[in-house]
Chains A and B, each alone.
Chain A
Amino acid sequence: MKNVFAARNSGWLFWLVLILVSIAFLVANESSNQPESSINQTGAADGQIQDGAPPAPAISEAPKLISENAEPTSSLAIPFSRLYKTAAVNDILVDPRGFVWAATEQGLASIREDQLQTFSIEEGSFPFQQAECLAYDGKDLWVGTLTGLCVQNDSGRFVRSELSDSLPSQLVWSLIWDGTTIWAGTQNGAAFMKPGSGFQTINEANTNGGLRNNWCHKLARPGTWFVAAHDRGLSIWNINFPASNPELWKNIDHARSVISRPITDIAFDGTRIWLATGRGVLLLTTPVEKFFNDFTPNLVSYSRIHGLPANRVNALIAHRNSIWAGTDGGLVRIREDRIQLITASSGSAPERVRKLAASGDILWIGSDRGLQFINTAMVD
């Protein structure tokens, strides 16, 4: 009896030690995992050279090579929404229901009624490690990844599509829906698919060199034209004619033009094609309607010396009679040859914009850190 009382008297100490040890180990384990799981969500200093960072041994200062006139023509401050924190954004899509989808480096994210939901392989809600591009064909949401194509099934789950096997490569870099057909740009050629059928491949071989390179990392579908940005430049094909005739393809090679690699995005303003590149924005001056008879690859360049905040342009979209460009130095609007830097009057503007998407007046901005939006009506 005495032993039992003694045990009860010292028992609380035992339990306390047990709980403390368990908590200590759990905390230690969580903190050691933290940096890897939040690589892309580490706040404002993400990827920036910190002023106060200790220099590596034997470092000498490099001169800053910033042009004196490297200032935007003008800037405009408007409110930016709060940041919906996600991993680095690769693509954004707003579906007809108003749901915002983001393909990110850690899977998929969606915003419904201001609520952010993530889908990832860790949570078991997405089949792949990352998502690269998105397309909505009026019925299904398609997600291109670097490991295959997946689709949202009737129960709302994301599963690998059986059609993925008919793609020329499982590395899917770009997806677009033109109203009747889904187009995919992959590592080993482009492909197109009418609903209910498999993908048909377009590559260097079956176009007899019309498509100059198979790594189709960006696609666009202005009018009756199919535009593929690849490692050798730009290949353009009128889809009303056989792809196998190389004479019917228009090509602009990096080597023989001012287009620098990589072409990171393509936008169509209803008349002409705009290109985002590592060295600024390029406008192909020939209107798309004249491509067939009068194709001259003349380009107008917009870069830092013209007022862009950074040469690296990652995203481009035609919206409300303007071209919006997401750069490594922020968001800009190009209108009538004027470049306007969009800054934040409230909230914080993302520095490195990776993708843009528009829905009504709302312009969604995907960055290294997540999603934000602005109301473009306020800019006008």
Chain B
Amino acid sequence: MKLSEFVALFKTFFARLDIYQLLAVPVLLVVLFHSIDFSSNDMQIGVVLPLSGEHAHRAANHLNGLTLAARHINDLGGINGRRLQLQIRDTHGQSEKTAEATRDLIYENSVFALIGGFSPANTRIIQALAEKAQVPFITGICTHYETTASGNRFTFRSITDDRRQFEALVDYALKRFNSRKPALIYDLELYGPDSAQRFIEISNRSGQQVCAAVSYKKGTLNFRRQLDTIMAAAPDLLVILAPAADSAMILRQFREARFARPVIGGNQLAAGEFANLAGVYSESVVTTMPFNPRAGGQRADYFLSEYAETFGQPADADAAMGYEAMMLMALAFKASDLDRNSARNALASLHGWESVAGSGGFDEDGNQVRPAEIAIIKDRQKIPVTMEGLF
């Protein structure tokens, strides 16, 4: 068809319409413009972590894990065609900032779900807001036993909790060191007296008698008072429930005071920061191990190599837990109708999975069922006790 013929046909068509019909065309365009949703089709996930302050390093590693998982999910086409977009907020480790950040993510950003937490107090704030607004919330970094023990419906935890860690530590201390009289030192932020009390109860059930349980305040640099109290009780084992940096300082001061008994502790001692700061004193310390790459098999190998390539450093447990938490969220979203209640139901249905950290599952409270694994530190490396003989 020649151009002139096309123009003629065009003119003929419009000649057949009257002025009202022609005016209707822009009206139609206006209707279409307002009908089409030009807003982003991305699925917003709120991430609430203490990215500055005392725990910034661990929070940053956790965030790296989350980011890598989100990238992998998006590279594979997202969730039912929708890309994941992380809305990241720094809490500075402060309660009010945690509350404000979570509130804004829920009510202003309308996030589909929340991931994060860190200290039990800040995790409880996120949890309270998430439960109230009925937004699914996963923590892959807060281990406080109470987080998933209060009948909450929208809260899930993908890291093995303190209760399971304490049970594994007590069991190992009994079998390996025949410990009957442990002493306990704990901080008031990450663990607190309620976790200490829980440890004592578990020890008592196993026939141990905790001979001393002392706390210290945040910012303590000299642990002389605690050391004197514990040394006076003559324990056969020391349990440290404290953040990684504090644990390293406590261990150094105890060893320098010639405390020669075994030392054990929760997953804080598994952080790279602990071995780096404690140096040679970290040798033979027993800890729980939230991430054993051998349990994750090929998934873990792939994750470790991708992580090292992307961030230029090896992945630690916090990074792996972040990766796992995001993958679980994606798994649940994929099986849901892409609304918050449906996503919550899908998460509650995840009773079994295989991830970078091995097999896992949520119990009826949304808590991780994976048993705690015990590792021993040798040459600053964490060796699972099941493989200790090989090293």
CB <8 Å contact, B107 and A55: no
CB <8 Å contact, B354 and A58: yes
CB <8 Å contact, B149 and A278: yes
Q: Is B331 close to A, CB under 8 A?
A: yes
Q: Is A372 close to B, CB under 8 A?
A: no
Residue of B nearest to A29 (CB): B35
Cβ contact of A35, chosen from B149, B194, B338, B364, cutoff 8 A? B338
How far is B282's CA from A97's CA once the two chains are assembled, in angstroms? 70
Residue of A nearest to B345 (CB): A49
Residue of B nearest to A368 (CB): B134
Residue of B nearest to A354 (CB): B132
Which residues from A are CB-within-8-Å of B133? 88, 105, 130
Cβ contact of B31, chosen from A25, A40, A60, cutoff 8 A? A25
Q: Please judge, given known A-B contacts A3-B16, A254-B194, whether A214 and B95 are in contact too, CB under 8 Å.
A: yes
How far is B129's CA from A255's CA once the two chains are assembled, in angstroms? 22
How far is B353's CA from A53's CA once the two chains are assembled, in angstroms? 18
CB <8 Å contact, A11 and B18: yes
How far is B364's CA from A49's CA once the two chains are assembled, in angstroms? 11
Residue of A nearest to B341 (CB): A47
Which residues from A are CB-within-8-Å of B197? 255-256
| Residue from B96, B332, B335 with most neighbouring chain A CB atoms (10 Å) | B96
How close is B223's CB to chain A, nearest CB, in angstroms? 21
Residue of B nearest to A61 (CB): B351
CB <8 Å contact, B348 and A49: yes
Quick one: which of B329-374 are within 8 Å of A by CB? 331-332, 334-335, 337-341, 344-346, 348-354, 361-364
CB <8 Å contact, A47 and B128: no
How far is B350's CA from A54's CA once the two chains are assembled, in angstroms? 11
How close is A278's CB to chain B, nearest CB, in angstroms? 3
Which residues from B are CB-within-8-Å of A187? 95-96, 99, 125
Q: Is B76 close to A, CB under 8 A?
A: no
How far is B21's CA from A14's CA once the two chains are assembled, in angstroms? 8
CB <8 Å contact, A90 and B132: yes
How close is A16's CB to chain B, nearest CB, in angstroms? 12
Q: Please judge, given known A-B contacts A25-B32, A25-B35, A217-B128, whether A255 and B15 are in contact too, CB under 8 Å.
A: no
Quick one: which of A97-133 are within 8 Å of B by CB? 105, 129-130
Residue of A nearest to B144 (CB): A261
Q: Is A22 close to B, CB under 8 A?
A: yes
How far is B239's CA from A266's CA once the two chains are assembled, in angstroms? 38
How far is B104's CA from A146's CA once the two chains are assembled, in angstroms? 10
Which residues from B are CB-within-8-Å of A256? 193, 197
Q: Is A138 close to B, CB under 8 A?
A: no
Count of residues in B whose CB is under 8 Å from the partner chain: 61
Quick one: which of A151-199 are within 8 Å of B by CB? 169, 171, 187-188
How far is B103's CA from A171's CA once the two chains are assembled, in angstroms? 9
Q: Quick check: which of B150-158, B202-210, B296-304, B378-386 contacts chain A, the rest being far away?
A: B150-158
Cβ contact of A7, chosen from B16, B121, B150, B349, cutoff 8 A? B16
Q: Is A65 close to B, CB under 8 A?
A: yes
CB <8 Å contact, A36 and B339: yes
Cβ contact of A60, chosen from B96, B129, B151, B352, cutoff 8 A? B352
Q: Please judge, given known A-B contacts A11-B21, A36-B339, A146-B103, whether A261 and B134 are in contact too, CB under 8 Å.
A: no
Cβ contact of B335, chosen from A56, A262, A279, cutoff 8 A? A56
Q: Is B5 close to A, CB under 8 A?
A: no
Q: Please judge, given known A-B contacts A47-B134, A56-B346, whether A62 and B361 are in contact too, CB under 8 Å.
A: yes
Q: Is A4 close to B, CB under 8 A?
A: yes
Which residues from A are CB-within-8-Å of B337? 35
Q: What does the 1/0 interface line of B11-47 toward A look like (CB < 8 Å)?
A: 0000111100100100010011001110000000000
Q: What does the 1/0 interface line of B160-176 toward A look like (CB < 8 Å)?
A: 00000000000000000
How close is A6's CB to chain B, nearest CB, in angstroms? 5
Q: Is B228 close to A, CB under 8 A?
A: no
Listed by A's residue number, 11 A-B pairs whose Cβ atoms lie within 8 Å are A47-B134, A53-B346, A57-B335, A59-B349, A105-B132, A129-B107, A129-B108, A169-B99, A256-B197, A262-B128, A278-B152
Given contacts A147-B107, A261-B124, 14 further A-B pairs with CB under 8 A are A3-B15, A25-B32, A25-B35, A28-B35, A59-B352, A62-B363, A169-B96, A187-B125, A188-B95, A260-B150, A262-B128, A262-B150, A278-B152, A312-B151
Enumerate chain A interface residues (CB-CB to B < 8 A): 3-4, 6-8, 10-11, 14-15, 18, 21-22, 25-26, 28-29, 32-33, 35-36, 39-40, 42, 46-50, 53-62, 64-65, 88, 90, 105, 129-130, 146-147, 169, 171, 187-188, 214-215, 217, 231, 253-256, 260-262, 277-279, 310-312, 328, 368
